[in-house]
Amino acid sequence: MFRKQWAALIEVDRDCYTWQRGQPYYKLGIQSIGFGGRAGNASWYYFPGGYLKLLAVMRAIWVAPLYRAATPDAFEALLIVDAPGTKQELSSSIG
């Protein structure tokens, strides 16, 4: 179910969501299996309402696209189920 939601992410205009100080956000640890069976890891910010942005060490990545889940409520429900005991540390795997 998570893979289907992840594959349906839609790129949106970066200006359609602006994080404000004090608003909640979550860090997702996404693990994927690429060609040749290599595992890859990436960290993403998830903002309630279904918005996601790749987190990287390079400053230039902040111009990276903003994505939105096709069905934000369903996407968030999957994340909460995958993170027993806390909404602060959401983690899921795709592969």
**What is the pLDDT at residue 91?**
43
Edge-to-edge strand order for the sheet containing 39-47?
Answer: 10-12, 66-68, 51-55, 39-47, 26-33, 89-93
Whole-number Å distance between alpha carbons of 33 and 65 = 22
- With bands split at pLDDT 50, 70 and 90, how would you rate the model's confidence at 54? confident
Give residue-wise pLDDT tens across range 9-38.
Answer: 999 998 888 888 888 888 888 888 878 888
Q: What is the per-residue pLDDT for 36?
A: 85
Q: Which pLDDT does position 94 carry in this prediction?
A: 45
The answer to whether the CB of 94 falls within 8 A of the CB of 3 is yes
pLDDT at 61: 54
Arithmetic mean of pLDDT over the chain:
77
